[in-house]
Structure formats: structure tokens, C-alpha cells
Amino acid sequence: MDWINIIQNTCKALTGVDAAYFALAAIGLNVQFGYTGLLNFGQAAFMACGAYGIGMTSKYFGIGMWWGIPIGMGFVIVLALLVGIPTLRLRADYLAIVTIALAEMVRLIVRSVRFKQYFGGSDGINGFSLHFRELSPFDPGAQYGIRPFQYSGYTVWTLLIGWALVAIFATLVFMLMRSPWGRVIKAIREDEDAVRSLGKSVYSYKMQSLIIGGLIGMFSGVIFALDRGSVQPDNYSRDVTFYILTALVLGGVAKVSGSIVGSMLFWGIFVFSDNFLRELTKDGPLKIFGVTVMQKIQVGAINYMLIGVGLMLLMTFRPQGIFGNRKEMALDAR
């Protein structure tokens, strides 16, 4: 068992690019789910908007890559209106059903052969982050940071931008939620009818919350795409939203710090268990009393199973997560 390697990988994951893009997506989901009580199960679709916006502009439209961000924002707004208009007047679970459907449909469309000329089919769009990397002030060959938090030059650049965005949006959301707008949003979560009786348009506030959360989620997709230099449709499957939700609930719903710490912990735990299980099965299948319990190719399935179990236990026993306040988990105002 190579403990040093496991611990090193775990530490790197705590502050890695994966944690950064999860944190962005979780901050967005938190605006919708934590503060407003909207069950958006299609955050992956909003992330895909950003990623494909960047990918398509740099690859097909022949205009600068940064135009991808306004285009991605456009996608987000269109999708949010598409799911918001029919469902935001209805009970909470309708939004869940429609957003989960939307995420699946978006994935099917971008990976289809029919639209391959725009979205690149199941291969996605590749090799476009050169422009982004040229801007990097770091030496791509060198290693930066102190062990175990050591990353290559490219990664440090993405990390810098990613965590900067996390800080910006975290501050923004923190301030938004202390503003009059935020108070209305939180009041909608607590008691929709009371807010309506005060003459506020609940529908329009919910729509704004859905769009703002989606836009923050879009930046998550941008960072993810820039880091990989590619957009793959299957990176935006519906389960991604549930992993982000798990990270959010782990850190604490309706707390800005919760979505950041939750994402870091989520990746720390995930990478630790993944590395640990892979070490266990490195020299052939793991056997307990002669019975084969786990083979190398089953590690992934077991890891994701653990995420699901974690989500179930958290929701049952500590729905407020680590930092959350149980009073702010009024998720059952239906």
C-alpha cells in the first residue's frame, strides 16, 4: 500500500481543478436549491452551456474564444426560460422532473450524429484551450507549490482563474443574499404564499434565481472545459448534478462557505477512496475469506455507490451538512 501517494493525491484533490469547478457549480446550485428551494436537477446542462459555448466559438465560428462566454450565457437563459416558464408556478417536484429531463435531452442532442457538425458528436470538441494557455504567465514545464500541493504550470494557471472565479461568485452570492433581493428569495423558500401576499412576484423572483444559479454553473463548465482543453458530452450526464448536490449538502446548504468546503471535501474523499480501492486491487482481485469481493474494474462502481450512500445518509441524518443551519433547511414548503 503506497500511503504517501494516496495522501498526496488526496491533498492535491482538495484544492484541485475538480474541486474548483464543483465549487462553482455548487455555488450556483446553492442559489437555486439552498436559498430559493428550487430543485434544479439539471445543473449539468447549464455547465454544458458554458463548455460548449467556449468549444464552439473557438472551433467552428472562427471568432475569439471569449465570445463563448456571452454565447454560453445566452444558452443558459434560453434553457432556464424553457424549463422555468412551465414549472415555476407549480409544485417543487415538477421542476425536478423537467430539469432532469432537460439535462438528459441536452446530452442526447450534443452527442447525436445529426448535430455532429455543431457539437462534435460523442467525441465532443477537442484541442481549443491553446489560446487560454498562451495567456498563462507560468512556465508550463515547471512544478509550482509546495508538496503535496504541487501542480504543473498549466494547472496552476487554471487553478488561479478557477479559484478566483469561486471567490468572486462566493462574494457576490454572499452580498446578494444580504440584499433585499436575497431576503425575498429566502422568504420564498420559507413560505411562498406569504411572499405573494406581500405583493411580490414569486414567479419572477424564482426565474431570476434559476437564471443566476445557472449562469454561475455555466462558469463551472467553462473552467472544466478550459482545463481539459476539450468538451465531452458524457461529462455532463445527469449524475454529475447529483454529485454536485452531494457536495453541496455535505458542506451545508444555504451557506456560501458550505458549497466551497463541501466541494473540496467531496473530491478529497472521492480521490482518497478511489486511490485506496485501486491500491487494494492492484495485485489482483481483493478477496475476503477466499471470496472475490472486488476487482479492479469494479472500483468505479463501488466508489459511485459510496457517493449515493453518502447522499442518502446525509439527507436522513444531517440534511444541514457540516456548516449549515438546520433552520435554513426548510425544503418542505410545498
Partner 1 sequence: MVVTGAGKRTYRIVRAFAVVAGSLVLFGSGANVASAEDGLSIIASVQNQTVDAGVSQKQPVAGVTITVTTPAGSIIGTGVTDVAGLISFPIPARDNYVVTLDIATLPNGFTMIDSAKSVSIVNKDDFTTTVKRATFFTGSSNTSSQTLFNRMIQRGADGLRLGLVIAMCAVGLSLIFGTTGLTNFAHGEMVTFGGLMAFLLNVTMGIPLLISAPVVVALGGLFGLALNVFIFGKLRRRGVGLISQLVVSVGLSIVLRNMFLYQFGGRTKPLNDYSQQTVMRLGPTSITPRDLTTAILSLLVLVAVALFIQKSRTGKAIRAVSDNPTLASSTGIDTQRIIRIVWFAGGALAALGGIFRGLDEQVGFEMGSRLVFLMFAAITLGGLGSAFGALVGGVLVGIFVEMASLVVPSELKNVPALLILIIVLIVRPQGILGRKQRVG
Binding test (CB under 8 A) with partner 1, winner from 153, 298, 323, 328: 298
Binding status of residue 11 toward partner 1 by CB under 8 A? no
Binding status of residue 280 toward partner 1 by CB under 8 A? no
Q: Quick one: 94 or 118, whose CB is closer to partner 1?
A: 94
Binding test (CB under 8 A) with partner 1, winner from 273, 310, 322, 328: 310
Amino acid making up residue 140: P
Residues paired with residue 231 on neighbouring β-strands, in sequence order: 125
Note whether 92 and 39 are within 8 A (CB): yes
What whole-number distance in Å separates Cα of residue 244 and Cα of residue 234? 16
- Residue among 263, 19, 229 nearest 140 (CA): 229
124 by Cβ neighbours in 10 Å (0-12 / 13-18 / 19+) ranks as buried
The interface region with partner 1, picked from 19-27, 149-157, 178-186, 299-307 by CB under 8 A, is 299-307
Q: Quick one: 289 or 317, whose CB is closer to partner 1?
A: 317
| # residues near partner 1 by CB under 8 A | 63
Note whether 42 and 96 are within 8 A (CB): no
Binding status of residue 96 toward partner 1 by CB under 8 A? yes
Report long-range pairs for 192-200 (Cβ below 8 Å, ≥24 apart): 192/333
- Cell numbers found for residue 165: 472565479
Note whether 1 and 279 are within 8 A (CB): yes
The interface region with partner 1, picked from 71-79, 130-138, 145-153, 290-298 by CB under 8 A, is 290-298
- The helix/strand/coil state of 141 is coil
The interface region with partner 1, picked from 62-70, 97-105, 138-146, 261-269 by CB under 8 A, is 97-105
Binding test (CB under 8 A) with partner 1, winner from 194, 313, 325, 326: 313
Binding status of residue 151 toward partner 1 by CB under 8 A? no
Binding test (CB under 8 A) with partner 1, winner from 60, 63, 78, 89: 89
Q: From the CB of residue 271, how many other CB atoms can be counted at a distance below 10 Å?
A: 21
The interface region with partner 1, picked from 19-27, 71-79, 83-91, 221-229 by CB under 8 A, is 83-91
Q: In the 8-state DSSP scheme, what is residue 151?
A: E
Binding status of residue 292 toward partner 1 by CB under 8 A? yes
What whole-number distance in Å separates Cα of residue 326 and Cα of residue 329? 5
Binding status of residue 114 toward partner 1 by CB under 8 A? yes
Binding status of residue 327 toward partner 1 by CB under 8 A? no
Binding status of residue 246 toward partner 1 by CB under 8 A? yes
Q: How far is the CB of 236 from partner 1 (least distance, A)?
A: 15
Give Cα 173 to chain centroid, integer Å.
Answer: 16
Q: How far is the CB of 234 from partner 1 (least distance, A)?
A: 9
- For cell 421542476, what's the residue? 95
Binding status of residue 43 toward partner 1 by CB under 8 A? no
- Residue among 219, 221, 207, 236 nearest 38 (CA): 207
CA–CA distances in Å: residue 143 to residues 1, 14, 132? 26, 18, 19
Which positions lie near partner 1, rule CB under 8 A? 37, 39, 41, 82-83, 85-87, 89-94, 96-98, 100-102, 104-105, 108-109, 112-114, 122-123, 192, 196, 202-203, 239, 242, 245-246, 249, 284-285, 292, 295-298, 301-302, 304-305, 307-313, 315-317, 319, 331-332, 334
